[in-house]
Amino acid sequence: MKKKVRNPLIRRIPRELRGDWKKYLVVFLFLVLTIGFVSGMYVANESMMTAAKAGVDQYKREDGHFELNKKADASLINAIESGKKADVKAYYTDKAQKELDDKFDSEFNKEFSDKFNDEFEKAYPEAYDEALKKIKDEIDDKYADAEEKYKLNDPDFKEVRVNVYENFFRNEEEDYNNDGTTYGTIRIYVRNDNVNEACLIEGAFPQASDEIAIDRMHADNVGVKVGDTITISGETYRITGLIAYVNYSTLHEKTTDLMFDAIKFDVAMVTDGGFARLHKTIHYAYAWRYVNKPADDIEEKQQSDNFMRALLTQAVTADKEIEDYTPAYANPAINFAPDDMGSDEAMGGVLLDILTVIIAFIFAITISNTITKEASTIGTLRASGYTRGRACKTLPLNACHCYAFRSGCG
C-alpha cells in the first residue's frame, strides 16, 4: 500500500495568511465594502421601483394627457371616451356643402343677373354641381394627406375605451422670496381626486383661496418651507404643504426637455378660489386612463396610437384643435426617475464585474510575486551548494516547507 501524499497547502496557507495578514485584511475589507455597496444599491433601487409602481394606481396616475384649444363639452368627452373614430371626410363634406349653399345663390345671381330665365335655370344646377365637385376634390386630396400622415384607415385599428378627466392648469410667474423678481414658472392645478393625485409629504393641502401646496423638491432647492409666503403673478399665497405629484416624479416643464429643472420650474396645488385669483391663460388639458390596461409596453404603444387616431377625428369634427398629445411612456416627467433607477441597477452590475476583475488581478499579482520570490530563494540555495540539513536551518520555515517534496526538509 502506497502512503497517501499529504497536501502541502494544508500547512502552507495558514502560514501565508499569518505572514501577510495586513495585505489579506485589506483585500477582505475591500470585498466586504464592495458587496455592501452593490447590495445596498440593489436593495434601495428595488425599494424605490416598487414604491413607484405602487403609486401608479394608488395616486391614479394618468396613462397620458392631451390639450385642446377650447374646453370640450360633455358630448365630445363621451365621444372621446368611446374610442371610436369620427367620419372626418363626411364632416368636412357636409360643412363645405353648407357653406356652398349659404353663399352660392348670391354669387350665382350676381353672375347671371342679366341672363334670361331659361339660361339661368339651365346654368344654375350645372354651376352648383361643378362647384360642389371642386370642393369634394379638394377635401379628398386633404383627407388623403391626413390619412397617410395619421394612418386613419389603418386596418389594424381597434377602439380603445378610456376615462377622460379635466386636468386644467395655468403657467404663472413665481417669485418665491417676494422681492419683485420672477425666478421661474409655476404650474398651478386645482386639487383633483379623480386623476394625478398628489402625495402630501409635509403640512396640509390648501383649504383657502390664499393657500398653496408646492413641490417638495422645488421647495428644498429654493429654500422655502411650510408657513412661508410666495408671490405668484402678483398674488400672495401662503405655503400650507409640500407635495409630490404622481405625474411629476421629476420637474420637466416640457416633454422636449432633456433635463429637469427643480429651481426654475415648480408645480403646485390650489383651491378653486385660488385658481380663480390667477390671470394667465387656462390650458385645457385632459388626462386619460385606459379602461383595459395594456399588458406590456408594446400593447401600450398600440393602444396609444389607436386612441390618438380616434381623438384626432373627434376633435376635428367638434371644431377643436389638439395643442398637445403625450402618452405616459413618452412623458419624461413620469419616466425619467424610473429609467434612471433602472440604469443605476445596470451600473451596479457593471461596477461589481469591474471590482471582481480588480480583486482577481490583485490576487494574481500577489500569487505571482510569492512564486517568483520563493523560486528565487530555492535557486540561490542550489547555486550555493547548501546541504539538506543546512538549508532547513537557514531558510525561512515557509520557504523550506514549500519545497519539502524536493529538498526533503521537514
The pLDDT score that the predictor gives to residue 72 is 95
The pLDDT score that the predictor gives to residue 407 is 44
Question: Do 102 and 242 share a structural domain?
Answer: no
Distance (Å, rounded) from C-alpha 53 to C-alpha 338?
Answer: 9
Question: Do 125 and 172 share a structural domain?
Answer: no
Look at residue 73 and tell me if it is in a domain: no
Look at residue 79 and tell me if it is in a domain: no
Instruction: Give the predicted TM-score (pTM) of the model.
Output: 0.70
How many domains, the chain? 3
Question: Which residue ranges of the chain lie beneath pLDDT 50?
Answer: 116, 387-395, 397-410
Distance (Å, rounded) from C-alpha 220 to C-alpha 344?
Answer: 24
Question: Do 325 and 245 share a structural domain?
Answer: yes
Distance (Å, rounded) from C-alpha 250 to C-alpha 120?
Answer: 70
For 249, phi then psi, to 5°, come to: -65, -25
Alpha-helical runs (H) found in 330-403: 332-384, 388-394, 397-402
The pLDDT score that the predictor gives to residue 262 is 92
Domain of residue 19 covers: 9-45+340-407
Query: Nearest CA to 58 among 190, 197, 214, 164?
Result: 197
Question: Do 298 and 195 share a structural domain?
Answer: yes
The pLDDT score that the predictor gives to residue 91 is 73
Q: Are strands 198-203 and 235-245 parallel, antiparallel or unpaired?
A: antiparallel
Look at residue 105 and tell me if it is in a domain: yes
As a whole number of Å, the CA-based R_g of the chain is 38
Look at residue 232 and tell me if it is in a domain: yes
Question: Do 140 and 253 share a structural domain?
Answer: no
Under 8 Å between Cβ of 61 and 192: no
Cell 395619421: give the residue.
150
Which amino acid would we find at residue 362? I
CA 288 remoteness from chain centre: 17
DSSP-assigned letter for residue 310: H
Question: Do 145 and 167 share a structural domain?
Answer: no
Look at residue 58 and tell me if it is in a domain: no
DSSP-assigned letter for residue 328: G
CA-to-CA separations, 291 to 162, 307, 349, 356, in angstroms, rounded = 5, 12, 38, 48
Centre a 10 Å sphere on the Cβ of residue 29 and count the other Cβ atoms it contains: 10
Look at residue 4 and tell me if it is in a domain: no
Distance (Å, rounded) from C-alpha 91 to C-alpha 360?
Answer: 73
Look at residue 239 and tell me if it is in a domain: yes
Distance (Å, rounded) from C-alpha 186 to C-alpha 110?
Answer: 57
